[in-house]
Amino acid sequence: MEHNKIDTKVKLIHGFSNKTRLQILECIKDKEKTVSQIVEEINGNQSNISQHLACLKGCGMIVRRNEGKYGYYSLRNQHIRDLLEMFDVVLDDVQHDVACCDRHID
């Protein structure tokens, strides 16, 4: 595989590798939400959540729709939703091994 494509793939996977970003993606998986709704649902800090939303949006994983003074965030497309669901499918198979892995790096 082309080196640049691997680097880009690593960046995509990195978007999923942060706990807060993954919580945000799961939070908006089924319904668009405002920053305030996301902050409340994942019990986060608004400034921190906003930074992660900007990262996810910049990487093209989410989109923002403006309505009045509110911005509504949602997944970019069904492919992102499918990836989130596939993570759950794979995790069902390897959950014990992943939980016991001592090579995990935070």
Look at residue 50 and tell me if it is in a domain: yes
Residue 57 has pLDDT above 60, yes or no: yes
Number of domains in the chain: 1
**Each residue of 30-51: pLDDT tens digit?**
999 999 999 999 999 999 999 9
Rounded Cα gap, residues 42 and 34, in angstroms: 12
On whether residue 106 sits in a domain, the answer given is no
Residue 46 or residue 104, greater confidence? 46
> What value does the mean pLDDT of the chain take?
93
Domain span at 24: 3-100
Q: Is residue 105 part of a domain?
A: no
Residue 66 lies in a domain: yes
Q: How far apart are CA 42 and CA 18, in angstroms?
A: 14
Using CB atoms within 10 Å of the CB of residue 56, give its burial: 0 to 12 exposed, 13 to 18 middle, 19+ buried: buried
> How much is the average pLDDT of 52-79?
96
What's 49's domain CATH number? 1.10.10.10
Give the integer Cα–Cα distance in Å for 25 and 10.
Answer: 18
